[in-house]
Structure 1
């Protein structure tokens, strides 16, 4: 569904709780035949939707932690790649090997090997060909490009730096951590997406969602006490905002 703040969902749930509080005051006069409108079921539904909302908030926190950890792990990849190329340049590596390493570094930096041709000013000129973005900066791609760069270093016999963070074994461990961080973000995203779906269905499904049930409660109270009754006026102003479930 469209992005919304959690405040809107929480407000619907809080207003449902207020609605129940008035229903309780009506005592035995509130006696609907529809099962979903009975007081015990309203109370159970309130607890369920509160639980769903809390689940989303908890999973959002876990997702944000995973995203922040991934960001920290990838933060220095560009500078590290440049250091690796510079370190390789001080070895006996062939020009082709150095060129391969620089190619992976360009991809990590998001740069092109050559400039993109400009758009012709002459309408009759041959159109500029469509190009694929050179900014291959997704986390998956950065991991892939760094892995390619490390493979170049590993296959160069003269590459044997004394700096621990530039050594192949350290780099492979870093790549494994990067993969794990990226996978954790994907796992947490799936979890939060599923939790949001459960929340949204519980709140907004047509006829069975909390918002629809709240309207049914209002309609029942109006039918029992009358549209101009003090009882109906108590609850008629309690607002519920419906949203689409996608």
Structure 2
């Protein structure tokens, strides 16, 4: 999770709450006809923003714990697979069996699928659901979208390594001479290891989904067209300027309160203009 980006979203929410405090100080003079910028609606959006930020924080920890556990086990897979292959070579297997085993071992070492492939798949699916998350739209921030793409690429990579490891086990099961004395190299142990890899990989995906959905929802509250805090603040500023005047003390109280909207293409941010 990008600390800089997350700080930016939290700052935007804090700035919105600051604007809300100032609007409340205007008392009954603040009386817009537009329902979406009435005080009750502004307060409701503020509450939703607070809750969404809490949800992002609360759902991140299980996901982080799951990714750490998966990383620890998968980091050992390459050396483990090398030991298995050495045991195959030492058991008296034929040259063809050793050659085939070497090919499978190489596949298990794995090359991570780049986010570019995940992005192609994402575009091809016309922004439909990825890995169980709700569909994104133009309110989804670049960092949230990137997390989804990176997760998709990572899952594809781990899925491939698991599948190749299972194929390796199946291959070894058909070789009569492969029957090592070492407990952790026996077929039973290999199957157990494969099952553990699957469990940890599935846990990462199942914990990612609520975290990604929490981020998508937070982004909607902040950046959705017309209803998000970004556009609402613009509308509020226009109303306050119309009631009190652009040179009034009331307008000056809120004119410098800025919310940054992140763009998909440049990943830079732009401030709301006064």
- The TM-score bracket by the shorter chain reads 0.7 to 0.9
Q: CA deviation at 1:29?
A: 1.2
Deviation larger for 73-82 or 187-196: 187-196
> Would the aligned equivalents of 1:84 and 1:166 in 2 still touch at CA under 8 Å?
yes
Task: Name the counterpart of 1:16.
Answer: 16
How far 1:237 moved relative to its partner?
A: 0.7
Shift of 1:164: 1.8
Q: Shift in Å at residue 221 of structure 1?
A: 1.5
* Number of the residue aligned with 1:6: 6
Cα distance in 1 for residues equivalent to 2:87 and 2:173: 13
Instruction: Name the CA distance, whole Å, in 1 between partners of 2:226 and 2:160.
Output: 45
Give yes or no for contact 1:201–1:245 (8 Å, CA) kept in 2: no
Preserved contact between residue 230 and residue 259 of structure 2 (Cα < 8 Å): yes
Once the two structures are superposed, what CA deviation does each residue of 1:120-143 show, in whole Å capped at 9, x if it has no partner? xxxxxxxxxxxxxxxxx9212221
TM-score in terms of structure 1 length: 0.81
Deviation at 1:242, TM superposition (A): 2.2
> Structure 1 stretches (4+) deviating beyond 4 angstroms?
none
Confirm whether residue 151 of structure 1 aligns to residue 196 of structure 2.
no
| Residue 202 (structure 2) aligned to one of 178, 183, 193 | 183
Point out the more displaced range, 13-22 or 194-203: 194-203
Find out whether 1:194 has 2:213 as its counterpart. Answer: yes
Aligned position for 1:235 = 254
What is the aligned residue count? Answer: 220
- 2:231 equivalent to 1:212: yes
- Aligned ranges 1:1-246 → 2 under 5 Å: 5-109=5-109, 138-244=157-263
Return 5+ residue gaps in structure 1 as ranges: 112-136
* Greater mean alpha carbon deviation, residues 153-162 or residues 214-223: 153-162
The Cα shift of 1:190 comes to 3.1
Higher helix fraction (1 or 2): 2
SS at match of 1:242: strand
CA RMSD of aligned residues (A): 2.4
Distance 2:110 2:257 in 1: 53
Residues of 2 paired with 1:67 and 1:142: CA distance? 16
Q: Which runs of 5+ in 2 are unaligned?
A: 112-155, 266-274
The TM-score, its normalising length taken from structure 2, stands at: 0.73
CA distance in 2, matches of 1:110, 1:186: 19
Could you say what secondary structure the match of 2:200 adopts?
Answer: helix
Assess, with a 3 A threshold, how the Cα gap between structure 1 residues 245 and 138 changes in structure 2: closer, same or farther.
closer
- Residues 124-174 of structure 1, C-alpha deviations (whole Å, 9 max, x = no match): xxxxxxxxxxxxx92122212221221122222232222221111111011
Q: 1:5 aligns to what SS in structure 2?
A: helix
Which structure is larger by alpha-carbon Rg, 1 or 2?
1
User: Match of 1:74, SS?
Assistant: helix
